[in-house]
Chains A and B, each alone.
Chain A
Amino acid sequence: MNYQMIIERTRAYLCLDCGKCTGSCPLARVDLDYSPRRIVERVVAGEAEAVMASPQLWSCMTCGMCSARCPSNVDFARFIIEMRAEAFGLGERGIYAHNGILQEIMRIQTLEVHQDRRGWLTDDMRVSEESDTLYFVGCLPFFDVVFADLDVEATEIARSAVRLLNRAGIVPHVSNDERCCGADLLLAGDVDSFRRLAELNVEAITRSGAKQVVFTCAECYNAFRTDYPEYVGALPFEVTHLTELLAGHMNSGDLAFEPVPGTVTYHDPCRMARYLKVHEPPRQLINAVPQAHFVEMEDNRERSMCCGSTAWVNCSGCSKLIQREKLAQARDTGSRLMLTTCPKCQIHLRCASRDLAPEEKVRVEDVTSWLGRAIQG
């Protein structure tokens, strides 16, 4: 097995046993048995098999907080992802949330499908197959179905994205041929399915002639920017997050917003916070909305705490404790509205807020949907 390769690639051999990883790990705070340091130590000490057989392998949220703090620059998230890939090959699986329905949806997309996924488009939106810009919608139409009980309003993100692009003078292509980005399968160890989805996506986008791909989902964006080049080669198109694109348009003065009164705060998704380090564009946009009062949470930007669940595996009571903490941080700002740029953070935090007492509830909404209201007046 390639444990030595994993140790080398992730620089795990440089671990100093300092424990900063465990000290900063949000999961370790609520699950006292969980320790990134011990996991690394065991593998380095030659006990990789035991780690692979342990349910703990699937609990890590890959939020990257540990790596951000690690003095030796050990890439623990990647270490976990690669260990999972090995374990997956041996038949091990994480505990699938929602009975594995999302994994099924993702894996079906590795096969011959001709999706019909644009039902959310409405007449007021302008889209074009000839466009240079492709808006990558991701799993949003599926989320609306799977999470109907949470009223996640996922496709509202997509509708707002197209309206915002239109307002910025861009008529995007929205394709039936896009597949799930596959990031959640990669994170859950299923590298083959991920690679297949990546190939299909790159092929479809290349075929569409798009020169630029815009994302609203932080995870899709990170998959394309970070993982795709590594697994399927350099991309023949540019990738950008909608907030980056819009912030650019705002600077050049061709985008303005109507007032949306109220106090808001912003949750940096792990992919934006630590993987891609895209911190300012969402904030610039929020601050550009008249009468919106923006307050930072205690932990923000690279210190932003995870939404508690990743890759649709091993969601648990511990996830909920992390989410409760995140929502408490939001309440501390005096706001009852937390914006974010990852639809999955939105789902996870809405799920947690659902169970809170009315006075503790925090509404979680995508920056895109919120901005969508700021252009509708």
Chain B
Amino acid sequence: MDGFESRRPQRIPQRRPWSITQQQTARGPGDDPRIGVFICHCGHNIAGYLDVAALVASARSLPFVVLAQDSLFTCSDAGLNQIRTAIAEHGLNRVVVASCTPRTHEPLFQSACDEAGLNRYLFEFVNIRDQCSWVHMEDGERATRKARDLIRMGVARAALLQPLTETELAIQPAAAVIGGGMAGMTAAGSLARRGFSVTLIEREPALGGSVRHLDTLYPNRTSARKLVEAQVAAVRAEPQIEVLTSAEVTAVRGSIGHFELEVESRQYRMKLPVQAGVVVVATGAEEWKPAGMYGYGHNPAVITQQELEERLSTGDLPPDLRSVVMIQCVGARDAHHPYCGRTCCLVAMKNAMILKEGNPACQVHVLYRDIEVYGTHFEDYYAQARELGVVFTRYTPDRPPEVVGDQGRAGDKQTPVPPGRVLVYDELLGATLAIPYDLLVLSTPMVPRPGARELAQMLKVPVDEHGFFLEAHVKLRPLDFATDGIYLCGSAHWPAHLDEAIGQALGAAARAATVLSKEQIRSSGIVSRVEESLCRGCERCATACEYGAIEFVDVTRSVEFLHRPMARGLETVHVKVARVNPMLCKGCGACAVVCPTSAMVASHFTGEQVAAMIRAALQAPAAMGEDHGTL
């Protein structure tokens, strides 16, 4: 058996000392906000259109503002020095810069704050250039009024800003690859060659996945067996790869940088811990068995394409087959599976050609709905099949083929009985053809492996409506999950041709390597946080989170006897509360919107901060006792 030579007993994965460290919080707010406002001329870009002196005057009159200054270029060394000096001299605990746009310059000003000992999240940017002076060049007076409002909004928000911490996390430089088929083996090999240790986890006793069941591969008739054997040998030879066969993932804890998988090994009859910084999902797919369709299951002359492959590779077919009929799209593009199986047209053509080449007298009919042979060489493949005499007949889903008569002979070589027939309505002829068959081969789509949904739940990643794993973005992030540190490849994602699966596996390995090659990763400070006492454990936030960043933990609370009003004494109850993983949270704030109790706080964009901006935007300046300057 494959897994016996595993080095498992010798090599227990070393727990690399990783830790979550919090960046030292720089100076936070004191009792009262002390806000400094720095207004940039940006040369002529702002000052040429807005009345900067008036803006300085009005900023100075705003609540909590202890300093308002202008400078020619706030982003220059002199301008940055002005900020650093003012923080020290005026004891500023919030800094507002009104200038270009946070998209280009926020990190620069934040660093200046950092350098002066002020937490970078106590900085607020007001955009008075890209969204003000440059777009209202004809109307300096109204543009200045708008800039004054924007600064008032920024100051109002700044007063409510809180220092935030960024979390650092060391990366465990190891990968767990789930699924030991061609995709999984390829990904594991690629990561191992980059120097990362890999645990390859396969449910079956042998590596190889679905390709193990095939005879030859289209379009060039590579032997599936030889290909798998070569790949398995390469994986076995790689010292960085630990192979666990007869092993299944039963639990997943942790997240990017420090996953811990619990793997149940039937071989060692124990649960093994596997630690990894990243996880690659390569669990593949399997052929759907069309029980009850066209006699499949009780008529031995009716088999699937994969079963035909197996017989082709073992030579277990009668030599004198006279007629083979293949039906395409069985259980595909219909109510069973609304999607296209993608590989089945080519598999049918390849097998039809093999039959035809082995015995030119054998009639091969392929009954299809549509032929999918896109690209540069597949179309050619189709032409070759027709050249060899394979007959393609189109049917429509409203009049699917029908099987009549007795069974064919393939299943029972001893008893010659009249062969059965497949009736198919040919639209072009306007007639129903009756095609006798010795063997009826059904092309069915690949479907997700059993347990795929459960694995998805363990990993907290989504599956699509068919049960295939769902990538983060179909075009922009096709090999990633939305959850950081988890990647996917091969037919786990969607029925893939082998070349696609291998391409994806190499890609997923490259994506995983972008994480593993770092010593540590750092979260943003802009992550949600939970006010635990308010949390009701309703999980609305977790439903809204695309990143699996929120988990629920059991906590205990002491309460007085609840269900006996007159009883006295304490008992312990278990309640669920939300926890945010700062390494996974992206700070979008969707969780805070759906939280019924305000337990979930969208840091840096809290309800109070946004509300303060709304009020400031709409407050008549007079109501704030604000100096209008020349306005």
Residues of A within 8 A of B (CB): 28-30, 32, 95-100, 149, 298-299, 314-321, 324-325, 328-329, 351, 354-355
* Interface size class, chain B: 20 to 34
Using Cβ atoms and an 8 Å threshold, which residues of chain B touch A299? 565
Known: A30-B557, A99-B607. A321 touches B596 (CB 8 A): no
- Contact of A317 with B562 at beta-carbon distance under 8 Å, contacts A30-B557, A95-B598, A97-B597 already known: no
Task: Name which residue of chain B comes closest to A309, CB basis.
Answer: B597
In the complex, 22 of the A-B residue pairs with CB atoms within 8 angstroms, ordered by the A residue number, are A32-B559, A95-B597, A97-B598, A98-B596, A100-B607, A298-B565, A315-B597, A316-B533, A317-B533, A317-B534, A317-B537, A317-B557, A317-B577, A320-B536, A320-B537, A321-B573, A324-B562, A325-B563, A328-B563, A351-B536, A351-B596, A355-B539
Chain B 538-572 near chain A by CB (<8 Å), digits 1 or 0: 11100000000000000001111111010000100
Q: Nearest chain-B residue to A147 (Cβ)?
A: B596
Identify B535's interface contact among A98, A317, A321, CB under 8 A.
A317
Q: Which of B468-488 contact A (CB under 8 A)?
A: none
* B575 CB-CB contact with A under 8 Å: yes
| Smallest beta-carbon distance A376→chain B, Å | 33
B554 to chain A, nearest CB (A): 12
Contacts of A324 in B (CB 8 A): 562
Contact check, B598 vs A99: say whether CB atoms are below 8 A apart: yes
Evaluate whether A315 and B534 lie within 8 angstroms (CB atoms) in the complex, with A30-B559, A97-B598, A325-B563 already known: yes
CA distance A95 to B595 in the complex (A): 12
Known: A30-B557, A99-B607, A315-B534. A320 touches B593 (CB 8 A): no
B607 touches A316 (CB 8 A): no
User: Which of B538, B563, B595, B597 is most buried by chain A, counting CB atoms within 10 A of its CB?
Assistant: B597
Complex CA gap A298/B565 in Å reads 9
A316 touching B538 by the CB < 8 A rule?
no
User: Which chain A residues lie closer than 8 Å to B597 at the CB level?
Assistant: 95, 97, 315-316, 319
| Contact for B560 among A29, A317, A329, A354, CB less than 8 A | A29
Contact A317 B596 (CB under 8 A): no
Closest to A316 in B: B534
Q: How far is the CB of A331 from chain B (nearest CB, A)?
A: 10
A29 interface neighbour in B540, B559, B575, B596, Cβ under 8 Å: B559
Other A-B pairs, 18, CB within 8 Å; known A95-B597, A99-B593, A319-B597: A28-B560, A29-B560, A30-B557, A32-B558, A32-B560, A99-B607, A100-B607, A299-B565, A315-B534, A315-B596, A315-B597, A316-B534, A316-B536, A317-B533, A317-B535, A317-B575, A328-B562, A351-B596
CB distance from B574 to the nearest CB of A (A): 11
Per the bound structure, the CA–CA distance linking A299 and B566 in Å amounts to 11
Bound complex: CA of A28 vs CA of B568, how far in Å?
12
Instruction: Give a binary string over B579-598; 1 marks a CB under 8 Å from any A CB, 0 the rest.
Output: 00000000000001101111
9 pairs of A and B residues whose beta carbons are closest in the complex: A29-B560, A320-B536, A315-B597, A316-B534, A30-B559, A325-B562, A95-B598, A355-B538, A317-B575
Q: How far is the CB of B156 from chain A (nearest CB, A)?
A: 14
Q: Shortest CB–CB separation between residue A361 and chain B, in angstroms? A: 14
Minimum CB–CB distance for A318 against chain B, Å: 8
Which residue of B is nearest A323, CB measured? B536
Distance of A258 Cα from B621 Cα, bound (Å): 63
Residues on B with beta carbons closer than 8 Å to the beta carbon of A99: 592-593, 595, 598, 607
